[in-house]
Amino acid sequence: MLGTGIIKGMVETARNFVGSYTDEARLTTVEYPEERIAPKENARQFPFLVYDGDDWHQGMRCVACQICEKECPPQCIYIEKSKDKKPDFIGKPQLYPAIFDIDLSVCMSCQICVEVCPFEAIKMDQEYELSTTDRFGGLLVHKDTLAKSNDYYRKIHPTDAAEIDARRIEDARKAEEKAKADAEAKAKAAVEAKAKAAAAPAGAPGATASPTPRTEPGKGEERPGAPAKAPGGASGAAPSSPPAGGTN
Amino acid sequence: MTALDQFPITLKHWMLGLSFWPDWLQPILSALLSIGPIILVFALLFGLVTVIERKALGRIQNRRGPNRVGIPFTNVRLAGFGQFIADGIKTLTKEDVVPRAADKVVHFLAPIALVVPVMLAFAVLPYGRNMVALDLPETGLVFFFAVGAATELSVFMAGWSSCNKYSLLGAMRAIAQMISYELPLILSTLTVVMLAGSLSLVSIVQQQESTLALGIHAWNVLTPWGLAGFFLFMVAAAAESNRTPFDLPEAESELVAGYFTEYSGFKFALFFLGEYFGLFAICGLGITLFLGGWTAPFAFLNVVPSWIWFFGKLAFLIGFFIWMRGTIPRLRADQLMNLAWKFLLPMTLVNMVVAAIWHFAGQAGWPGVIRWLFCAAMILGPYWMLGRGLETKVGKRVYRYAS
């Protein structure tokens, strides 16, 4: 008969109404500022830079390779490489970011920077209470604010952090073994060289300096090429410059 | 007990009797002393109902609902009942945006044209024994519906003057709904007028004060035609005051706000106020016509002041509307029209016939019981048959060519 469905529905809502007073477990929401639901491990909000140890500057994993800068869909990352180098976790001298800025107002929390980073240097934070009384300041986040310790990363993403830590310890161990083997080989070579005697024992000390991972393609190399052709004439410079500009 | 019952009246007479009022001021003052409390009480009720409604809807959905706003600068929260004051201040301080193309005068007048007639409707409702601001012995009910119909005008004023096609479409939908449901609304009240033989709301209530057996007051809702009429009236009233499941004119989740899309700030709040006032007024009318007005259900409960009975019943009906809002999903526009024209209208006509039979059938003793059952059957039969047409038939889908 017409109306029975309505009565059934009314009974259901009445049960919910009364139940929400008698049974606290029914309530699906929490009273936010006083109570919080612990964030899920995969929750993500905004990237941060991981550093090892206590000194954020010394321990920063980022080597300023700029892959994240290039991959970032909304282009919210700005990196400037350093002029000097500092040793990384296996003692290899690496560049570091002189400037590393992320624009908070542009970032869309897509996590692509995290996925492309080969150094596990950038990870997603779970900090979501970002409101301030300052409307415009603080939107460009600099590297000193972005840097957060590996301990913090372990705390918010325990599973991922454990896996990455294990991998890095393994890498460090391998690097150490390799260094030891190299040193032995070098010592042997030195001994052999000494045995061979003769002058100039130049063992090439710079040989161990490996190339920095993925240096900037283009730009640096191709730029000089264009002016090289240019001297042919002032008018000839114009057609030759578009290919040079196109590579950027 | 009569002292407490008649307390508002005696207070008014005492204030009028104070010696320092000049004679020429007396009628104006008397009117103001009647109007003032009505507006104050209903405005406060409006504020409280907005909070209670949100809290109740929250509880129905297993949430807590608003419970924050209390007294400013303290930790006193009042369980969130400061919310309506904060909302009022917010709407008052908000920018009032008027579209450049709008008809500014009509745009300004529309919310006023909604609130004023609804407030006029409060004038004829009897809130307690001897408590009616404007007793119209010949035309009380007609006056109520006459001013109630003026809200339709304001709805169209709002939609038209906004100079926005969506507002206009929303207004047309709202008008279509309101006019369709005006008919069953008025026809369902006609049964009461037929049996009471009066259009005066005061005398309709007084007739319901007579007692049946066991000291039960003869509320109209205790008769078959009254019960059916009450339900028909409440359905039509929900549609008339744009309450869920009939809130198509401003379906929040589907339209922006229907006819008051282009309203902001306090004008928007006035529309909100007008809708709630309309709900209170029409609930008050339902109480007056069917639920015995200010009378107690039993004679021995007459010790409780009459105005408490009226506002208690009003609170009950408002609570019922909130409960309905938390339960029933919105109708589709065609379902809305089907319900009005194919179900409510025939049912009200049947109900009028039943009321006539009730009037002429025997009354006392066993004939009275037989009369009750016969009239109930005469309503239930058409209800069942008309209801079959409205029920959705979801069967197995048959594919003529594809299977």
- Optimal mutation site among A17, A24, A29, A34, interface B, most CBs of chain B within 10 A: A17
CB-CB under 8 Å, B60 with A17: yes
The mean per-residue pLDDT over the stretch A45-61 comes to 89
Name the average pLDDT for chain A: 81
Mean pLDDT by 10 residues, chain B (403 residues): 81 83 86 90 93 93 88 84 90 90 90 91 90 87 90 90 87 89 93 91 90 85 93 93 84 76 88 91 94 89 90 95 92 88 93 92 75 91 88 78 76
Amino acid B61: pLDDT: 92
Does the residue B66 lie in any domain?
Answer: no
Amino acid A200: pLDDT: 61
Does the residue B197 lie in any domain?
Answer: yes
Amino acid B397: pLDDT: 80
Does the residue B118 lie in any domain?
Answer: yes
CB-CB under 8 Å, B62 with A27: yes
Summarised one tens digit per residue, pLDDT across range B24-40 is 888 888 889 889 999 99
Amino acid A202: pLDDT: 53
Tell me: ipTM over 0.95.
Answer: no
Does the residue B72 lie in any domain?
Answer: no
Q: Domain residue spans in chain A?
A: 44-190+226-248
Summarised one tens digit per residue, pLDDT across range A95-130 is 999 999 999 999 999 999 999 999 889 999 998 888
Q: What residues in B contact A17, CB-CB < 8 Å?
A: 56, 59-60, 323, 326
Residue A168: pLDDT over 80 = yes
CB-CB under 8 Å, A14 with B324: no
Burial of B194 by CB count in 10 Å (0-12 exposed, 13-18 middle, 19+ buried)?
A: middle
Amino acid B280: pLDDT: 94
Q: Chain A within 8 Å of B328 (Cβ-Cβ)?
A: yes
Name the fold adopted by A44-190+226-248.
Answer: Alpha-Beta Plaits (3.30.70)
Summarised one tens digit per residue, pLDDT across range A20-36 is 999 888 888 888 888 88
Does the residue B140 lie in any domain?
Answer: yes
How many domains does one find in chain B? 1
Does the residue B392 lie in any domain?
Answer: no
Amino acid A232: pLDDT: 41
Amino acid A240: pLDDT: 42
Does the residue B37 lie in any domain?
Answer: no
CB-CB under 8 Å, B327 with A12: yes
CB-CB under 8 Å, A26 with B323: no
- Select from B63, B327, B384 the Cβ nearest to the Cβ of A29: B63
The mean per-residue pLDDT over the stretch A49-71 comes to 90
Residue A237: pLDDT over 90 = no
Name the average pLDDT for chain B: 88
pLDDT tier for residue A226 given thresholds of 50, 70 and 90:
very low
Instruction: List the domain range (segments joined by +) for residue B147.
Output: 98-351
Paired sense of beta strands A122-125 and A147-149, if any? unpaired
Residue A210: pLDDT over 70 = no
Name the minimum distance, in Å, from the CA of A6 to any CA of chain B. 7
CB-CB under 8 Å, B383 with A2: yes
